[in-house]
Amino acid sequence: MWCLEKDFSFEACHTLVEGMDKCSRTHGHSFKCTIGLESKILQTCNSNTDMVINFNTIKEILNPIIEYYLDHHNLNETLNMDNPTCERISQWIYKKLMTTKLNTFLVFVTISETTSSRCTYFE
């Protein structure tokens, strides 16, 4: 079994409705996301052999999602959520990736909103 991990980052803002603390005000983060992909077999990808999937293919799938929904956006609006917590953002990205050709490999999505706070979603 092989597990690939691909990191990407994006800048975004959100407003959380839970609680009365400072997070209920609109604020931003430098989010980091890690996706985990696994396979029991290796494939031939773009004439390269012995890969789970080409990292460039992963990037080609991720870039439009990052650009259209995540980077420099208000996540309440683009993800259509009242409360876009790390938990909900990681689940949203996971579900979005399940509609791509990564669906047979996808294992988890981890979202970090700070260097010490993160959430991992998997099914």
> Which residue segment(s) compose the domain that 49 sits in?
2-121
Domain harbouring 107, CATH code = 3.30.479.10
pTM of the entire predicted model: 0.92
**Which of the residues are catalytic?**
23, 72, 113
Answer yes or no: is pLDDT of 20 > 80: no
* Block residue for tokens 């870039």: 63
Phi, psi of 24, rounded to the nearest 5 degrees: -80, -5
Per-residue confidence (pLDDT) for residue 49, from 0 to 100: 67
Looking at the structure of the chain, the number of domains it has is: 1
Separation between Cα atoms, residue 109 and residue 44, nearest integer Å: 25
Q: Among residues 118, 89, 86, 93, which one has the least CA distance to residue 107?
A: 93
- At 84-104, the pLDDT tens digits run 999 999 999 999 999 999 999
